[in-house]
Structure 1
Amino acid sequence: MSRLRSVEIIAHRGASRDRLENTLSAFRTALEQGADGIELDVHATRDGMVVVHHDPTVQVSTPIGVSLADAGASSHPTGRAPTQATSLPVSAPLSPHRPEEIAIAGVSYDELCNVTLRNGEHIPSLDAVLDLVAGRATVYVEVKGAAIEEYVVQCLARHPNTATAVHSFDHRIPHAIGALAPRVPLGILSCSYPLDIGHMISSAGARDLWQHAALVDQALVDAARTAGARVVVWTENDVAHAVQLVGIGVAAICTDLPGPMRSGLAKAGLVRPGPENPAQA
């Protein structure tokens, strides 16, 4: 008898070990590796465009005090100044010789398009990611920014043929999304062991409990099921541990390594092999 289970493999910020996280190349690679889902983080620009980026700020190499619109605009074919994002931590002090930090919520989408990431790509809009996925996987949207629920709902509505879901650490956000779009599946994130799992799930109207992989046990999975929810673990890159988690009823594994994770779970007989394992198909 087959041991195959309906376990989802969700690519954490895309195939983020192989490509720069939260970029179109990371999402494209995740799809090529057979990910069932794509997880990403969103904020909104000043003019309401939902964009995919983990932090609320972006580091750019324009000198301090020089605006994105003015820095070298004459040399850019569109009249804009391309800037180079860096990998400095958000907490790095500002100086004329170090990247300047801009808040995504404080710039327009047009201005944000000037920022070039270190792999040469630009920060993608959520629309662009949904166009790329085009129904091939479920897109799990972690809402980071406050008071952007309406923008997120409007964006999701523009892509009815791609399955989507929304989750957040701020449990008020899925509740607000649910009021605006009752058919969008909701999730709540947790990095501690919940004392009252049922209340937490029901108060947010959540279908998914996104739980840190180190804090998942049989009791938590059972409590979530009793409350009508399923458990998604993050961020799990160890195949052996993932096999154990699937064994206790975890519904989805969010991983930086969607290809190797699918390969490992397929070898354990728990999921179907992906495109990287054609001989096993």
Structure 2
Amino acid sequence: MPRPEIIAHRGASRERPENTLAAFARAADLGAEGCEFDVHLHPDGILRVHHDPLGPGIVPGPDVPTLDAVLDLHLARGLTAYAELKGPGCAAGSVAALGARPELRSAVHAFDHRQVAEARRLAPAIPRGVLEVNYPLDALHALQAVGGRDLWRQWPFVDADLVAAAIAAGCRIVAWTVNDAAVMERFAALGVHAICTDDVALARQVFGA
């Protein structure tokens, strides 16, 4: 059974400031295959990568990269770009930026499933995912409603039944945020497709090359 894909949560966030170019570059150095990061649309129309929304009048500092800079780094380092559509209105610009780099492996996901639906309307070829922190009775309903590929589920809500259902439906399970070696090993045995982790070095140690 293939081992899970290793996705760095906001880059190598235990070694570098999260959601920065330095964090993404370090994740590549450590052996991550992809990075997850957060996208916000600013009033000036520029998409920038950071987790928390900036209040009115706050100007991003030099460590807050543009989405374009983040995508260029991912392309140069061979990383898959997993863009979380974090702030309102960022779906259109995000999928346009991803679509402008057809050689870049990429996907979008969000807690706000309306943004994922918008991404589907605008760029149906870009893979999509939904974020969940629960275990609904119909486990794949939200993902299938947006024609998604990746179910990003907080790790305590991932089990064998969910993985089996995803495999049967042709979908992927991305467990987040997994920072424990025993949990990583258990998920690999279940067939989880990817883990999102703060500790890329640990994941590499657990899964090997």
TM-score (norm 1): 0.71
**What corresponds to 2:141 in structure 1?**
199
Give ranges in structure 2 of 5+ residues lacking alignment: none
SS at match of 1:20: coil
SS at match of 2:40: strand
**What corresponds to 2:189 in structure 1?**
247
**What corresponds to 1:78 in structure 2?**
none
Report the residue type matching 1:128 in the other structure.
A
Residues 33 and 79 in structure 2, CA contact (< 8 A), matched pair in contact too:
yes
Of the three residues 22, 27, 49, the one matched with 2:46 is 49
**What corresponds to 1:26 in structure 2?**
23
Q: Deviations over 1:214-239 (max 9, x none)?
A: 11111111122233211000000111
Question: Distance in 2 between the 1:198 and 1:211 partners?
Answer: 11
Q: Deviations over 1:252-272 (max 9, x none)?
A: 010001122111222xxxxx2
**What corresponds to 1:180 in structure 2?**
122
**What corresponds to 2:201 in structure 1?**
259
Matched, 1:126 2:67: yes
Q: Pick the structure with more helix per residue.
A: 2
Residues 19 and 37 in structure 2, CA contact (< 8 A), matched pair in contact too:
yes
Give the drift of 1:28: 0.6
The Cα RMSD (Å) is 1.5
Q: Deviations over 1:153-184 (max 9, x none)?
A: 22112322211100001111111101100110
SS at match of 2:140: helix
Residues 50 and 155 in structure 1, CA contact (< 8 A), matched pair in contact too:
no
Give the drift of 1:48: 1.7
**What corresponds to 1:148 in structure 2?**
90
Aligned residues: 208
**What corresponds to 1:35 in structure 2?**
32
TM-score (norm 2): 0.94
Question: Distance in 2 between the 1:235 and 1:138 partners?
Answer: 17
Residues 8 and 199 in structure 2, CA contact (< 8 A), matched pair in contact too:
yes
Give the drift of 1:6: 4.7
SS at match of 2:39: strand
> Which stretch has the larger CA shift, 29-38 or 195-204?
195-204
Q: % of aligned pairs identical?
A: 46
Residues 171 and 204 in structure 1, CA contact (< 8 A), matched pair in contact too:
yes
Residues 3 and 188 in structure 2, CA contact (< 8 A), matched pair in contact too:
no
Map 1:1-281 → 2, pairs under 5 A: 5-57=2-54, 102-103=55-56, 112=59, 115-116=60-61, 121-134=62-75, 136-266=78-208, 272=209
Report the residue type matching 2:154 in the other structure.
H
Report the residue type matching 2:148 in the other structure.
A
Please identify the structure whose Cα radius of gyration is greater: 1
Residues 198 and 226 in structure 1, CA contact (< 8 A), matched pair in contact too:
no
